[in-house]
Amino acid sequence: MDPNDIQQRMNEMQSSESFSNVLGKILSGKSGYKPVIEKKHVAVICKSCNKVLDDVAKFCPECGTKVEKPVAH
């Protein structure tokens, strides 16, 4: 599975009200507890050599390919 697909699915789950309610109940034992969920940046991966890149990279330091940023939904 593509890391960007996994991160996108995690973001969808975490933004769900029912997910937040269940997680809050598990963490605190109290109904209505709103946990703070850390959201991470989508990983940028070089399409040529599959190297994980910094968010600010414009070219892959490994192979020189121009970085294409994923489109946020």
Helices 3-14, 17-28: inter-axial angle, 10-degree rounding: 80
Domain boundaries, the chain: 3-39, 41-73
pLDDT tens-digit readout, 4-41: 788 888 778 777 778 878 877 888 887 777 766 666 66
Residue type, 18: S
The Cα 69–Cα 55 span in angstroms is 8
pTM exceeds cut of 0.85: no
